[in-house]
Amino acid sequence: MVGSHSKSFFGQNTGIIVSSSSSSDPFMFIHCFKKKPNGIWEKPSSNEGKAIKISLEEIVMILKVLNHESHKWQTQHIFKDKETAVSFNWEDVNHEVLWINVNNYSKRLNLAQSEILRLLLMHLLDEKIINSTFLNKSNTDGLKERNQKNYFQLDEINFPLNDQNFHHEYSNAAETPNDTSNLYGSIIGETEKAVLIDFIKKEEWIPKSAIDNKYLQQKNIKQKFSINNWILKKLNLIL
């Protein structure tokens, strides 16, 4: 599997580079450049241009625009007391021209370019969800006690489920057959291959292929998920 990715979109006067140096990094970068009056492009080595770090959650929101689920998404980045306005929006309802704005850098993408960007971000997100959530043993030792406590507290919480067909039940790995465990949580994000689930005080991306039961696709509804133990152990959600 290729660990790094880079794709450039350059026009006559403005260009951007979307890059990720490692599939295990839970973020990517967008670098913006302009052509100076002398015809020379800005250079990162000369501290020129603008670079912003995009988190996994922000990739999800950008994909909502690229998937035509939203017309516009915007946010503010704050780094060392400096604010950077970031937005992705379609030019009109036809969704054939995409504008990427980072402060005073504005890049226009045509339909083909925006589709390439969409496919790239989907690939990066799926890749990073799998690889960036794996924890090394040295990083898990200090989390075991906390995660174990959170895990076994789930059966003490009475969730007000919106769908009365769901039972208030909980069982750990030893009580559930087929190497799955039942955990309660709510969906707060989704891609084609994974869902972002809020497990009380911890949010994790779970591959859809690892969920063994049917679930409501609506967001912010507390419900039961029967999840394969291998991914729960990888995420340190069970011991």
Across 178-194, average pLDDT: 86
pTM, to two decimals: 0.58
The answer to whether 166 touches 223, Cβ cutoff 8 Å, is yes
3-class SS of residue 190 = strand
**pLDDT at res. 36:** 92
Across 175-190, average pLDDT: 78
Q: Which of 110, 132, 154 is the last residue of a domain?
A: 132
Spatial neighbors of 3 by CB under 8 A, at least 6 apart, are: 21, 22, 23, 24
Do both 160 and 193 map to the same domain?
yes
Q: Is the pLDDT of residue 222 over 50?
A: yes
**What tens digit of pLDDT does each residue of 5-35 get?**
999 999 999 999 999 988 888 999 999 999 9
Spatial neighbors of 223 by CB under 8 A, at least 6 apart, are: 161, 163, 166, 184, 185, 186, 215, 216
Across 127-146, average pLDDT: 59
Do both 43 and 125 map to the same domain?
yes
- Please list the alpha-helical segments (H only) found in the chain: 56-66, 111-132, 137-140, 144-152, 229-234
Do both 22 and 51 map to the same domain?
yes
Whole domain around residue 18: which residue ranges?
5-132
The answer to whether 113 touches 132, Cβ cutoff 8 Å, is no
Do both 47 and 146 map to the same domain?
no
What CATH number is given to the structural domain containing 10?
2.30.31.10
The answer to whether 114 touches 122, Cβ cutoff 8 Å, is no
Q: Does residue 239 lie within any of the structural domains?
A: no
**What tens digit of pLDDT does each residue of 56-88 get?**
999 999 999 999 999 999 999 887 778 899 999
